Chains A and B, each alone.
Chain A
């Protein structure tokens, strides 16, 4: 079966005003299959957000291809749902109207868009808050509204860029729990970027680890326990070993074996 997303040997390089060109990402190859929840872990500045921007269609790679359903020429802009780090809710619109902004841009009639959002609000625990303005909502609620906005425009693939990063630890923990619980119901595929290894272990099926700039994929691991059975998972020996491995790679300053030594033609 064609994987939903295939990123093949992508490199992103920026020209700088003086000095050598800046390589943000190098030799990135990853595959996402339908229904998977993929965690992308990496330190700050490793190019995670650039990779998401690439997959969302906001920029093109210098080298390499990004293919949706095997189609390399497909324009991703407007087809992939993207949730940035900040909620970016419009302060002049109510919570419900904020959730339907994506749908409206895509031409859905306001009435039916609102109905769909209403249903989602009930599932997301936001019932009763539809007519409130973002300034009146807490951080956790705003993030959930932003998530509703993202889910409503999602055809298949969701890109989440550290969605819980701006929240306090308690809210973050409760939202992680919430996301793990409703994930099954949504029937979507997700690429979730985080700098928190625990978060990735809690939510993802498979984890990719990125090194610091230039970002390279240095590790890919499957999380051995199914999401439904992850209660108290961190004491499990397999998980502890996996976590130790991930942390070791993240903190390690040496190059990992198996790095790409492919020479790129000059662009």
Chain B
């Protein structure tokens, strides 16, 4: 299929190029749509990949030229070797961290939605709980983590607890904002249908707040890995944070950096997964509006 690019203001007639508007699009146009999507993604990432590559080249050159101690700054080549050699251990520890993070995020999501709903339906509850929620965030999680290990031990529970605690707040705040942003005219309309307050919440306010909820989830995801790694670092028997601590205490700096690379990849994957979930659950949010076509 020949795809022509048109400048703005071009008035030559063109065939319809957006097959997604037709509900019975053929397989061919579906594949074409995915290919175009992948192409767009690759082109978006390409500059970043080039920059990363250049950075690695500079780093490698520097380590070779300056002769810096390998325990201080290993070359990218050494880090890469460590990654490959220790891949089994890295993989198994990553699974542990991933598991904690996933459980913590899901718990935070469930608790967040539950508390937000309660606060929405009862102003008494809201006035009681919301200030406490805000205060809970003023205690840095760095200080809470050791306390949780003392209470719950070196196992997974202390980690999951911390992640839930840290992720709960952005989710709750984002969802509360989303709910309060419901169009009051739409609420009036639903009342004229004879809708009850519960019905208005379930059919109108909650679905409309999901995009806001997702932005809260994205923030929570960025905090979740951080708190997981930190918690493992200070007291655990498994996980990437623990593995990092192990490498550090044996002066294996290449191992530490390899673990950092895995953590970065894990975070990126989580973000990518959230992005995918968003596109699957709220596809309507990303439909370009007709006014944009003018």
Question: Using Cβ atoms and an 8 Å threshold, which residues of chain B touch A101?
Answer: 190, 193, 203
Binding stretch for chain A, among B30-38, B142-150, B265-273, B279-287: B279-287
Judged by DSSP, the binding face of B is helix
In the bound complex, residues from chain A placing their C-beta under 8 Å from that of B203 are: 101, 104-105
- CB of A3 within 8 Å of the partner chain: no
Q: Residue B5 at the A interface, CB < 8 A?
A: no
> Are A91 and B192 touching (Cβ within 8 A)?
no
Q: Does A190 contact B (CB under 8 A)?
A: no
User: Measured between alpha carbons, how far is A78 from B149 in the docked complex, in Å?
Assistant: 56
Q: Given A53, A102, A135, which contacts B193 in the complex, CB threshold below 8 Å?
A: A102
Q: Number of B residues whose C-beta is below 8 Å from A?
A: 26
* Interface residue stretch chosen among B59-67, B123-131, B181-189: B181-189
Tell me whether A78 and B183 are in contact (CB under 8 A): no
Q: Tell whether, in the assembled complex, residue A131 and residue B289 are in contact, meaning their CB atoms are under 8 Å apart.
A: no
B282 contact set on A, CB distance < 8 A = 92
Contact (Cβ within 8 A) B188 A135: no
Which residue of B is nearest A92, CB measured? B284
Checking A80, A88, A153 against B185 with a beta-carbon cut-off of 8 angstroms, the contacting residue is: A88
The interface residues of chain B lying within 8 Å CB-to-CB of A88 are: 183, 185-186, 189
A192 to B29, CA, bound (A): 46
Residues 170-191 (chain B) with a chain A CB within 8 angstroms: 183, 185-186, 188-191
B250 to chain A, nearest CB (A): 53
Chain B 187-215 interface 0/1 with A at a Cβ cutoff of 8 Å (1 = within): 01111111100010001100110100000
Q: Name the distance in Å between A129's Cβ and chain B's nearest Cβ.
A: 10
Q: CA–CA, A93 to B23, complex, Å?
A: 15
Q: Mask for A78-94, Cβ within 8 A of B = 1, else 0?
A: 11111010101011110
Q: Is the CB of A56 within 8 A of B284?
A: no
Whether, in the assembled complex, B288 has its beta carbon less than 8 Å from a beta carbon of chain A, the answer is yes
**B28 contacts partner chain A, Cβ-Cβ < 8 Å:** no
**Chain B residues positioned under 8 Å from A102 (CB to CB):** 193
Nearest chain B CB to A217's CB is how many angstroms away?
Answer: 23
Q: Which residues does chain A contribute within 8 Å of B208, judged by CB atoms? A: 90, 92
A51-69 contacts to B (CB < 8 Å):
53, 56-58
Q: Which chain B residues border A53 with CB–CB below 8 Å?
A: 188
Which of A102, A105, A132, A135 has the most chain B CB atoms inside 10 A of its CB?
Answer: A105
A residues near B188, Cβ cutoff 8 Å = 53, 58, 84
B204/A135 in contact, CB under 8 A: no
Q: Is A138 an interface residue (CB 8 A)?
A: yes
> Judging by beta carbons under 8 Å apart, are A90 and B290 in contact?
no
Q: A105-B199, A133-B284, A136-B290 are in contact. Are A90 and B204 (CB under 8 A)?
A: yes
CA distance A58 to B194 in the complex (A): 10
If A105-B199, A137-B290 touch, whether A84 touches B189 (CB-CB below 8 Å) is yes
Task: With both chains docked as a complex, state the minimum distance between the C-beta of B182 and any C-beta of chain A, in angstroms.
Answer: 11
Q: Given the interface contacts A90-B207, A132-B21, A135-B284, does A58 sit within 8 Å of B191 by beta carbon?
A: yes
User: What is the chain A residue whose CB lies nearest that of B21?
Assistant: A136
Question: Could you tell me if A153 and B183 are in contact, using CB atoms closer than 8 angstroms?
Answer: no
A78, closest chain B residue (CB): B194
Which B positions have Cβ atoms within 8 angstroms of A? 21, 23, 183, 185-186, 188-195, 199, 203-204, 207-208, 210, 282, 284-285, 287-290
3 pairs of A and B residues whose beta carbons are closest in the complex: A78-B194, A105-B193, A82-B192
A-B contact pairs, 18 of them (CB 8 A): A53-B188, A57-B192, A80-B192, A82-B192, A84-B185, A88-B185, A90-B186, A90-B204, A90-B208, A101-B190, A101-B203, A105-B190, A105-B203, A133-B287, A135-B287, A135-B290, A136-B21, A138-B290
